Each structure stands twice: as C-alpha cells, then as structure tokens.
Amino acid sequence: MNPRYEYRALLACDIAGSAGRGQQRLQEIRGALRSALSGALGVAGLDRRDFAYVDTGDGFRLVAPAGLAKVGLLVPLLPELCARIREHNRHAGPDTGLRVRAAAHAGEVRLDPDGTVSGTPLETLARLLDSPPLRHAALAGPDGTPVAAILSQHYYEETVGHGYEGLEAGAFTAAEVRVKEYAARAWLWYPGSPVGPHGGPGPEPGSRERPVEAEPWTVEAEPRTVEQLVRATGNGTVFAVGRGDQHIRYNERD
C-alpha cells in the first residue's frame, strides 16, 4: 500500500515543569493528564480510538480523524480539559499538580500503512508547543494556568469569529512566535480571557484600566486595551492595538 496524504486537524499537549519530579510522580501526572483528556474527549462527543494518538512522554499528540471539523479540537474540549485539570489540582500535592500547554494546527500530513503520521504540519505544531509565548502563558496567575493553548494563524482564521460558541475573538491574544527557523503569528487562549473557562467579564465599555508593569518574556492574564501603557523591556515589547489584542514581540537573545 502507498502512503496517503490527507488534511487533518492536530492537537498536542505537554505537561509544563514535568522534569525533576522523579519516576513515580511523573507517572502519576501522566496518568492524570490521560484521564483528563479521555474525559474531555467524551464530553466533546469524541472517541480517542478514532484518533492517531502518540504518547510523547510528558504529553500526547492527537491527529484527528478525516472529516473532523477543526472546531472539534477546541470547544468544548479545551474548556473541559481545563476544568478537569483544575479539579485535579485542588486535591494534588506539591509534586503532582498539573499545568498543561496545548497547541493546535492543521494541514496535509502523510499517513503510512503502518500508522505513522508525518509531515511539515507536525513540525509547525511542535514549534508552537515549544514557543516562549505559550510557555509564559502557562505561568499566568499565582499558581500557573491549568491549560494554556496556542492556535496557528491558519487554525485561528478557520475557527475563531465564525459564530461558534466559546470561540469569540476576544478570548484570544495575538503573539509573534519565533522558534528556530519558524516565525509566524499565533493566538493564545488561557483562563482569564473574557470568555475563557472560569474567566470573569471584561472591562465595561468606556472604562480605563490601570497600566500594568510587564516583566520580560511574560504574557498578561488579561487582554490589553488600547488605552494601556506601551512598555518596552530588555527582552521583548508588549503593545496593544485598537481591537484590544495583545501582541508579544520577542527579540533575539544572544
């Protein structure tokens, strides 16, 4: 049999800060993530057996079945995954709490007869998952973010703003991603955005927020307004535009 080339939606997750916990704790948090994923897929009406599933050691990669709409890997899947991990963290010890990074992309991949999936869309997915904006979004809040996700520009354009509940544009924050040879705009989603899970309402129309000091290489927990202060730091520049999107430009390090 010859390989097939098909357009597929892709989702990858990994556990932030998984290193250094020891073998036993690592297996516990891996199991907790698998359980949360299986439950979230069930709530979304999806079956993990329909996906090409790859265990990456501290996370997983899902290749959606042919024909699954890209929105199916976002809502209600991501909010449900977030809620389940948040519940796990309520009862977890200091070494078994979870913070998860997720990345979504789509493109034409190669499917070999032995079940192997490959192609440049998977490379893009890996770059997004490893990007500094996503890593720092996972640190938002005093205890970190249960789930912080990043969408490629392509994925964002074909899902957000098309009327799907829970995918309003105001829930996403623009970020410039530069990892190795990959450089592109992407879109962050994390609790604390106006329509994200457990997020509070946005500012009242016409209200003004106090400027917030931005630390280098960080992502604010709330989208910025055009009135807010533009602040440049040694490692990056945070700035706002008229729609209220927050953009993070990362400068090259030595």
Identify the pLDDT of residue 192.
67
Q: Is 74 exposed, middle or buried (0-12, 13-18, 19+ CB in 10 A)?
A: buried
Closest of 210, 254, 211, 253 to residue 231, by C-alpha: 211
Distance CA 147, CA 149 (A): 6
- The pLDDT, as a whole number, for residue 23 is 87
| CB-side neighbour CA atoms (13 Å) of 73 | 31
- Helix 77-91 × helix 23-43 angle, to 10°: 140
pLDDT digits (tens), the chain, 254 positions: 889 999 999 999 999 888 878 889 999 999 999 999 999 999 999 998 999 999 998 899 999 999 999 999 999 999 999 999 999 999 998 889 999 999 999 999 999 999 899 999 999 999 999 999 999 999 887 777 899 999 999 999 999 999 998 888 888 999 999 998 899 999 999 876 544 433 333 333 333 333 323 333 333 334 333 222 223 222 332 222 223 344 434 444 33
Structural domains of the chain, with CATH = 4-172 (3.30.70.1230)
* Positive/negative CA dihedral, 78, 83, 84, 88: positive
Q: Residue written as tokens 């604010």?
A: 220
In this structure, are residues 20 and 115 in contact, taking their beta carbons and an 8 Å threshold?
A: no
Return the amino acid letter for 63. Answer: V
Other CB atoms within a 10 A radius of the CB of residue 7 amount to: 13
Question: What pLDDT is stored for residue 1 in this prediction?
Answer: 81
pLDDT attached to residue 135: 93
- How much is the pTM? 0.76
The 8-class DSSP code of residue 21 comes to S
The answer to whether 78 and 123 have CB atoms below 8 angstroms apart is no
Please, which residues bridge with residue 178 across strands? 183
Q: Strands 231-232 and 59-63, how do they pair?
A: unpaired
Residue 53 corresponds to which tokens in the numbers above? 């599933």
Calculate ∠ Cα 225-227-232, nearest 5°.
85
Predicted local distance difference test score (pLDDT) of residue 168: 87
Alpha-carbon distances, residue 9 vs 2, 25, 50, 105 (angstroms): 22, 31, 13, 6
